[in-house]
Chains A and B, each alone.
Chain A
Amino acid sequence: MTDISPPQKATPPLLLFWREFRRNRVAAVALGLTVLLVFVAVFAPLIAPQDPYDLGALSLMDARRPPGFTGSGGYTHILGTDPQGRDLLSAILYGLRISIEIGIMAGAIALAIGATLGVVAAYLGGWVESLIMRIVDLQLSFPAILLALVLSALLGQGKAQLVTALVAAQYAYFARTAYGAATSERRKDYIEAALATPLHARRVVFKHLLPNCAPPLIVVATVQIASSISLEATLSFLGLGLPVTEPSLGMLISNGFPYMMSGRYWISVYPGVMLILLIMAINIVGDQIRDQLNPRLRR
C-alpha cells in the first residue's frame, strides 16, 4: 500500500474497496461465481429446459436416467433425471432459487432483529442489557443446528416455519456482533455530542450508532447467509425443511440418496456440487470482506 501516491481527486470509498477486493484473484472469482449463481437462480424459469414443479409434464418413463439421456420431452437431460422424472438441471436451478431465497430471507430478518437487539442493549445498558445479552449468550452456547432442528421439528414443514427456525437459530450471532461494536462506538465523542443535541434518542441510535456498527455486521451477514443455506440443506436432507413439492437443493440430494447405493450417483451428486459451489463462493467473498475491513490487518 506504500506505492499509492496521494490521490488527486477524492475517490469514492466503495471504488477503493472494490479495487482492493479485485486484487485477490480467488475472491474476485468467488464473487463472480456468486453473482452468476444468483443470476441463474433469479432467471431459472427462463433458463431451465423444464418447469420441474409442473407435475403434469413429468413422466415416470424418464425417471432416474443418466446424464445425456434424451427423454420423452425431446431434449437431452444434460445432468440426467431424478426419481420423479424431472430434468435434473432444471430441478437444480429451481432448487438453487429456493436455497438462495431462504438464505437471504433468514439472513436479512436475523440481521434486522439481532442488530436492533444488540444496539439497543448497548445503548440502554442496565437490566435491559443484562437480560438481552444473557439470553443471547445462553443461545450461543447451543449449537445452531440443534436449535434449528428442534424448532423446525416443532413448527412443522413450510417456508415461513423454516425461515422462523433459521432466524431463531442465527439472530444471536448478529446481536453479539452489533453489541460488541455498539458498546465501543457508544463511548465515542460523536455519539455523546449527538445525544447532547435535542435529537430523539431513537434517532441517534438508529441513524448514527447503528450505521457505524455496519462493517462487522456485513461480514457476519455474508457468513450467516452461507450458513443458513447450509442449515436449510441439512434440515431438508433430514426431511424437516420444505414440503416435497418444491425441492430445494438439500431435498434433491435427499431424494437421490436411496438410489446412490445402486450407482445412480448423479441425482445426489450434482445438486450437492451446486450447493457447495454456492456456500464456498459466499464464504470466500465474506473472508475477503472481513480481511479488508479488519484494521489490524492493514499496514
Chain B
Amino acid sequence: MLGFIIQRAIQAVAVMAVMSVIVFVGVYAIGNPVDIVIPPDATQAMREEAIRRLGLDLPLWEQYGIFAWNLLHGDFGRSFVYNVPVLELIGGRLPATLELVLISILFAAVTGVALGVYAGVKPDSWLSKAIMGLSILGFSVPSFWVGLILILTFAVSLGWLPAGGRGDTVTVFGIPWSFLTLDGLSHIVLPAINLALFKLAMMIRLARAGTREVMLSDTVKFARAAGIPEGVILRRHVLKLISIPLITVFGLELGSTLAFAVVTETIFSWPGVGKLIIDSIGVLDRPVMVAYLVLIAFLFVMINFTVDLVFALIDPRIRSGRQGA
C-alpha cells in the first residue's frame, strides 16, 4: 500500500511539473504584455524599464526558473493589471465561486436524487417521462444558452429575479457571503440553477438507474414481505444502496463544476474566479492566467490522487493489479 501511495504521489508531482511548464510556455507565447502595462506614448527608455521590472528581458527558461521557485514558496507574482499579488486577487474572488458551486451542487444532488428515485419507482407515469425529458434537455442544451433563457424569462420578461451581480453580502470571518441576505439569495438563484442543470440531469439518470435495479432486488422483496411501508423502504434501504455510486460521481464532478462556473459567472456577471480568468484572458494578464491554470491543475491532480487512494483502499485488486503491470 505504501508503495502504491508513493508511486501515485510521484506521478502526481510529475504531472504538476509538466503542467506548470506547459502552462508557463503556453501563456508566454501569446501577445506582448508590455503593451497593456505601459501607455502607448511611453518613451523607449520607459518601455525598457518596464520590461526589466517585469523580468521579461530574461531568457524563457530563466523566467520559468524564477516562476517555479516563487511558486514553490507560494508566490504567484503580481497581476499586471491590478498590481496586487495574484493569490490575493484570486483569494478575494474565491468565496463567490465556492458559494455558487456548492449551492448548485447541493441543489443538483438533492433535487436530482429525489426526481431520479421517483422516476425509478414509477417508470411509466407521465411525470417520470417529463423528468427524463428534462434530463435529456439538460445534457444536450449548451449551458450558456440555458443561462440566457433563464435571464430572458425570469429577469427580463417576468422581472422576478435580478439578472446579474452578487447583491447584498454579509461579512462573516472577514469574507463577504451572498447567501446570508435575502437580496443576495435572490441574486444566486438563477446562476445556481444554470450551473446545476447539467449535474441535475446526471444525478437524475444515475438515481433512476440505481433505483430501478434495487427495486427488483431481494432486499426490497423481503422488506415488502415483512410489511414495511413503501416510504420507509425507499428512505431506509433504496436510498442507502444507491448512494455509493452517487457519492463517487458527486466527488468527481466537483472539479468540473468549478470549470463550468467560468461560463455561468460570465453570463450572470458573478464576480468569481471564473469571471476573473475570462477578463484576464481578454487583457492578457499573464500572472493571473498562469496562477489560475496551475491552481486548477493542482486541484484536479489532488482530486484524482484522492480518488485513486480511496479506490485502492476499498478495492485491493487495484493495488495488486498496478504492481503486476
Contacts and interface: CB of A to CB of B under 8 A. Distances in A.
Interface of A: 130, 138, 141-143, 145-146, 149-150, 153-156, 226, 230, 233-234, 237-240, 250, 253, 257, 260-261, 263, 265, 268-269, 272, 275-276, 279-280, 283
A247 to B, nearest CB: 15
Given A142-B300, A153-B281, A280-B140, A257 B148 contact: yes
B324 to A, nearest CB: 13
B151 A260 contact: yes
B260 A145 contact: yes
A269 B157 CA distance: 14
Interface of B: 15, 23, 26-27, 29-31, 139-145, 148-149, 151-152, 155-156, 163, 255-256, 259-260, 262-263, 266-267, 278, 281-282, 289, 293, 296, 300, 303-304, 325
Contacts of B145: 233, 253, 272, 275-276
Given A150-B293, A154-B30, A260-B152, A143 B140 contact: no
Contacts of A234: 142-144, 263
A191 to B, nearest CB: 22
Given A130-B325, A261-B156, A272-B149, 6 more contacts: A138-B15, A142-B259, A146-B262, A226-B140, A261-B163, A268-B148
- Top 4 closest A-B pairs, CB basis? A146-B259, A143-B256, A154-B26, A153-B281
Nearest to A226: B140
A139 to B, nearest CB: 11
Contacts of B151: 260-261
Given A154-B30, A240-B281, A260 B256 contact: no
A154 B22 CA distance: 10
16 contacts: A141-B303, A143-B255, A145-B256, A145-B259, A146-B256, A150-B293, A153-B281, A230-B140, A233-B142, A233-B144, A238-B266, A260-B156, A261-B155, A272-B148, A276-B145, A283-B139
Given A154-B29, A238-B262, A260-B156, A141 B300 contact: yes
A130 B321 CA distance: 14
Contacts of B26: 150, 154
B96 to A, nearest CB: 18
A14 B27 CA distance: 49
A260 B155 CA distance: 10
Contacts of A154: 26-27, 29-30
Nearest to A141: B304
Nearest to B281: A153
Contacts of B303: 141
A150 B292 CA distance: 10
Contacts of B149: 269, 272
